[in-house]
Amino acid sequence: MSLGQPPNPEDNPQHQGQPQGPGSFSQEIQHSQVSARVPEKVGRGVFSTGAMVFQGQHEFVIDFVLRMAQPQQIAARVVLPLSIMPSLIAALRENLNNYQTKYGPPPAMPVPANPPAPPPIDEIYSQLKLSDDMLSGVYANAVMIAHSPAEFYLDFITNFYPRSAVSCRVYLSAPQVPGLLNTLNRALNQYQQKLAGGQLPKPPEPPHQ
Mean of the per-residue pLDDT values for the chain? 84
Find, among 5, 35, 12, 2, the residue nearest to 142 by Cα.
5
User: What pLDDT, in 10s, does the model give residues 19-70?
Assistant: 555 666 666 555 556 679 999 999 999 999 999 999 888 899 999 999 888 8
Residue 95 φ then ψ, to 5°: -65, -40
**Higher pLDDT, residue 37 or 6:** 37
Give the domain 2-6+44-106+120-193 fold. Answer: Transcriptional Co-activator pc4; Chain A (2.30.31)
DSSP three-state, residue 3: strand
User: What pLDDT, in 10s, does the model give residues 164-175?
Assistant: 999 999 999 999
